[in-house]
Structure formats: structure tokens, C-alpha cells
Amino acid sequence: MVFQIVHHMAALDSSPNPPNSLQAIEMCLQANAAVIEVDITPLAGDDFLLVHDPVLESETTGIGKVGDCTPEMAKNYKLRERGGIAISDHPPALLTEVVAAYLNSPSQSRLQLDYKSVYPSISDEYLQRLARIVQPLGNRVIVSSGADWHLRQLKRIAPWLDVGFDIGFYLDWRDPSWTVEPENPPYQRGVYDYNDDHLFARSRLLPPDAYLAQRCEMLLNQVPTASIWYVSHYLLVRCLQDGFNMAGWLHQHNVKLDAWTLDIDKPIAVTNAALLKNAGVDLFTTNTPFALATLLTGTN
């Protein structure tokens, strides 16, 4: 089984660079990473900032909403190190800088842009801006999101642009002991023990594998142009336990599957990675890309 490793937030195992930083991306390009994933959030100007959260103080020395910040203002801030306390020497990266780094590199690494602005907007300016900035990269870029409404509109704006769907707003599996942000759907735990707000999760009228197949068919129709699904490894393994191989089901519909986020310092991730490789998962998102690749290939 051939699979690819996705470098989460441009991770390189023990890299000294902060997540989502331009220097981290450049190091991944030098390492010929198969796929480099970064987060993007729209700025109040003709660009995007590589941050995960909607407020600057989460990951930078700035304060306030990312959407109120201009590119010029953003470059005066510094990224916080992992953990959010220590301050690095790195300014936050702009998407235009990332595209330039790709165009200047001989690497053929693919770029995954995880679009973090999920709420609907009256204007399509952000999506039009995104398509315009990444167009020079052509098929080397894929935009992923849990906001299926943005993905459908993005494909209408830029039919050439590849998109990937994170189904976690609609179907998930979470340990009841986990602390979860209350605003993050799904809001209910259904009768099949999955987090699912759909009517199908209210009554156990189908075997679990049939329920899961039905839900996946519904989700497939929400973004029929998605080439990759991005799914929590916890959900994927739970599906396997219920007799449903999501990777195999998606392959029948010409869609690939990415499992996130599997780091080798977590024993459950190590166990699940082996199970999911055998199940046919196509991509593995991780903060420990070299170590995970070694584990999955059985090489030293």
C-alpha cells in the first residue's frame, strides 16, 4: 500500500521553527516533503495569515481579530513558540510568501491549505482572493475545510482548484472524557456512539456499518468534487471496529482518505497508524513525519 505523509503545520520532527512559519515550510521543501499542510485565515488586506485561530494573541504577539489585521501590521508581530508562552524571532507568514517559496523551490511538494474561516460570508472576496493567490501553483495545491459551503463555492469560482473535505462538523468520535469546545459541532452523541446531529443517529434502525455507509453517502454528496476526505484517526478506528472501512468505501468513489493527526509520542496514535495503514488509508497527517514514515514502512 502506497501512502503519503502530510507535514502538519509544516512539522519536521525536531525542527526548531514554530508551526506554520515560513522557515518551517522552507525546511520541509528542502526535505522534499510529500505534502506540507498549513493553516490560513483571511486578513484585512489582499492576503492570508498562516495561523490556526481567529485571534492574533493565540499564536502571535499581536492582539485582536486576525480579520482586522493588515498584512503590514502582521509582519510587525512575532510567532509564539509551541505552547504559546515563549516568543520566537519569526514573524507570522503570509500566503503570498508561501506561494513564492514554492515557486522558488525545485521541490515538488504539494501544499495543503486548511481554510480556517468557516462561518458563511455575504461576499465571496476571500475565496476569490484565495484562488487568485494560489493559481500559480496549479494542481500542487489543495484547499481543505470542514465548511462544505465554502468548498462548493470555491469550486464554482475556481473549477481547476482541488478541494478536500474534513467531515468532522458532521460525523466524529470523541472520548466522553475529552474537553471539547462547546461551539464545535456535532453537538450530540447518537445512539451508535458517534457524535452526530443527524436524524439517522437518533434511533438504532440499521446495523452500525449500514448507518455509517449511509452517513458517508450523504456527506459525499455535500462536496461531490472533493478528492480527499480528512478524518480523525479516532473516528476511523471506531468505524473499523463497527465493521466499516471508510478508506475502502471512499476508494469505490475515487476519493482518497487522510487520517489526522498521528504523532509517535502518543501510544494510541502508533497503534492506530498501523491499523489504518492496513485498512488502506492514503495519507497520514503528523507532527512527527520522519518517525511516522519509518514506523509505517518498517525501515530504520
Question: Would you list the domain boundaries of the chain?
Answer: 1-116, 168-300
The CATH class given to the 1-116 domain equals: alpha beta
CA separation for the pair 126, 60 (Å, rounded): 22
- pLDDT at 83 (0 to 100): 65
Q: Are strands 4-7 and 283-286 parallel, antiparallel or unpaired?
A: parallel
- Closest by CA to 190, choosing from 173, 178, 177, 207, is 173
- Closest by CA to 8, choosing from 269, 284, 247, is 284
In this structure, what C-alpha cell is assigned to residue 285?
497527517
CA separation for the pair 113, 258 (Å, rounded): 14
CA separation for the pair 263, 274 (Å, rounded): 12
- pLDDT at 182 (0 to 100): 84
Residue carrying the nine cell digits 473535505? 165
pTM of the model: 0.96
Q: HSE, CB side, 13 Å, CA atoms: give it for residue 200.
A: 19
CA separation for the pair 41, 126 (Å, rounded): 9
In this structure, what C-alpha cell is assigned to residue 262?
498521528
171 contacts 219 by C-beta, under 8 angstroms = yes
- pLDDT at 181 (0 to 100): 84
In degrees rounded to 5, what are phi and psi of residue 230?
-110, 115
79 contacts 18 by C-beta, under 8 angstroms = yes
C-alpha angle 260/263/267, rounded to 5°? Answer: 110
Per-residue pLDDT of the chain (300 residues; tens, 9 = 90+): 689 999 999 999 988 899 999 999 999 999 999 999 999 999 999 999 999 999 999 999 999 999 999 999 999 999 998 766 789 999 999 999 999 999 999 999 999 999 999 999 899 999 999 999 999 999 999 999 999 999 999 999 999 999 999 999 999 999 999 988 888 899 999 999 999 999 999 999 999 999 999 999 999 999 999 999 999 999 999 999 999 999 999 999 999 999 999 999 999 999 999 999 999 999 999 999 999 999 999 865
